[in-house]
Amino acid sequence: MKILIIENEVYLAQSIATKLSELGHSCETCTSAREATKSNDYDVVLLSTSISSNDITPIIDFFNESIIILMVTYISNDTVSKPLKAGAKDYILKPFMIEELIRKIDHHKEYELLKHKVATIEKYLDSELKIKPNEYNFEHIDFPVFIYSSIQKNADSFAYNFAKHLETMFTYINLNDSHAFAEIKNATKNTLLYIVNYQNLKKSDKEEFFELIKDKKVIIASFEPIEDVENIIEINNEKSVLTHGEILPIEDYVKFIVLNYQHKYPDTELSKKLGISRKSLWEKRKKYDIIKKK
Name all domains of the chain by residue range, CATH numbers in brackets.
Answer: 2-121 (3.40.50.2300), 132-237 (3.40.50.300), 239-294 (1.10.10)
Residue 255 three-state SS:
helix
- Compute the distance between CA of residue 145 and CA of residue 141 in angstroms, rounded to an integer: 7
- pLDDT given for residue 246 in this prediction: 60
What is the amino acid identity at position 98?
A: I
Q: Is the pTM of this model over 0.75?
A: no
Q: Which long-range contacts (CB under 8 A, 24 or more apart) does 191-195 make?
A: 191/216, 191/217, 192/163, 192/166, 192/168, 192/217, 192/218, 192/219, 193/217, 193/218, 193/219, 194/159, 194/163, 194/170, 194/218, 194/219, 194/221, 195/219, 195/220, 195/221
What Rg, from alpha-carbon coordinates, does the chain have?
28
Under 8 Å between Cβ of 36 and 3: no
Q: Please give the span between the terminal C-alpha atoms of the chain, in angstroms, as a whole number.
A: 58
What local confidence, expressed as pLDDT, does residue 247 receive? 65
Contact 174, 289 (CB under 8 A): yes
Across the chain, which has 294 residues, the per-10-residue mean pLDDT values are 95 95 95 89 95 87 96 94 96 96 97 95 91 77 92 90 94 95 96 95 94 95 88 71 61 79 83 89 84 67
